[in-house]
């Protein structure tokens, strides 16, 4: 914890502190929210710093907040092997805003950014090969967005007669039903006729 506090103090006393919008320490890890325009410079600073040297990008993921003006958040998890510290950096972006790619800084970001684009539609400018990685190339939409339908738009199956994979519109055996209570265990607000056990 002492190393973490000294690292936080180091960041606040550095010439990069203007890039930090907010920060807090939780679960023995430092979380920093950065301005989008400062991301690349801040990551280069962290990676090349001799004292802390955050050489490893362990993960990069997207988060969807559809009710916020800055709908998407990109989360970068960094690890310093020399000081055994973890750092989580978050940036916020609007739906149509470009997020700068960090593939040239951390090579591990290549597939992580492709995944974030495939699942959320977050576009990374300057990415060398931004294409789908988890869904097939004919897929329409971004399935981790909160406004994406649970059933999707089409289903894929192999047709033995045609000897190829075909796409079909989703056909539900049962129409979608909207329930009027949060949990089936809570019950309803009304009493069914003939229900002797119901209390008024």
In this structure, is residue 165 part of a structural domain? Answer: no
In this structure, is residue 197 part of a structural domain? Answer: no
In this structure, is residue 147 part of a structural domain? Answer: no
In this structure, is residue 163 part of a structural domain? Answer: no
What does the pLDDT average to over 154-158? Answer: 85
Residue 119 has pLDDT above 70, yes or no: yes
Higher pLDDT, 177 or 144: 144
In this structure, is residue 117 part of a structural domain? Answer: yes
Domain range for 69 = 2-133
Higher pLDDT, 151 or 59: 59
Residue 58 in tokens: 């362990």
Residue 155 has pLDDT above 90, yes or no: no
Q: Is 18 helix (H, G, I), strand (E, B) or coil?
A: helix
Q: What pairs with residue 20 in β-bridges? A: 34
- Taking the C-alpha atoms of residue 84 and residue 135, their distance in angstroms, rounded to an integer, is 35
**12 phi and psi, to 5 degrees?**
-70, -25
- Check: CB of residue 30 under 8 Å from CB of residue 9: no
What does the pLDDT average to over 183-198? Answer: 66
Number of domains in the chain: 1
Got the DSSP string for 110-156?
HHHHHHHHHHH---EET-TT---SSS-TT--S-TTSTTS-TT-SEEE
- Check: CB of residue 130 under 8 Å from CB of residue 117: yes
Residue 63 in tokens: 């988060």
What does the pLDDT average to over 131-141? Answer: 89
What's the CATH code of the domain at 49? 3.30.460.80
Which pLDDT band holds residue 97 (cuts at 50, 70, 90)? very high
Which pLDDT band holds residue 181 (cuts at 50, 70, 90)? low
Determine the pLDDT at residue 199. Answer: 62
In this structure, is residue 48 part of a structural domain? Answer: yes
Residue 41 in tokens: 């410079």
In this structure, is residue 200 part of a structural domain? Answer: no
Higher pLDDT, 140 or 41: 41
Residue 137 in tokens: 């190339």
In this structure, is residue 177 part of a structural domain? Answer: no
């Amino acid at each position: 914890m002492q190393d973490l506090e000294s690292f936080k103090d180091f960041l606040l006393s550095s010439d990069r502190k203007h890039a930090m919008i907010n920060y807090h320490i939780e679960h023995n890890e430092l979380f920093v929210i950065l301005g989008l325009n400062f991301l690349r410079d801040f990551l280069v600073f962290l990676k090349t710093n001799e004292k802390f040297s955050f050489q490893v990008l362990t993960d990069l993921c997207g988060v969807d907040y559809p009710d916020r003006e800055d709908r998407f958040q990109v989360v970068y998890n960094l690890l310093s092997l020399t000081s055994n510290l973890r750092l989580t950096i978050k940036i916020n972006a609007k739906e149509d805003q470009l997020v700068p790619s960090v593939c040239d800084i951390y090579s591990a970001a290549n597939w992580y950014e492709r995944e974030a684009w495939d699942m959320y539609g977050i576009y990374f400018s300057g990415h060398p090969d931004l294409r789908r990685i988890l869904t097939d190339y004919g897929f329409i939409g971004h399935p981790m967005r909160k406004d994406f339908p649970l059933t999707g738009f089409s289903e894929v199956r192999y047709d033995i007669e045609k000897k190829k994979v075909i796409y079909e519109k989703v056909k539900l055996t049962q129409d979608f039903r909207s329930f009027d209570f949060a949990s089936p265990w809570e019950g309803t607000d009304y009493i069914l006729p003939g229900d002797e056990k119901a209390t008024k």
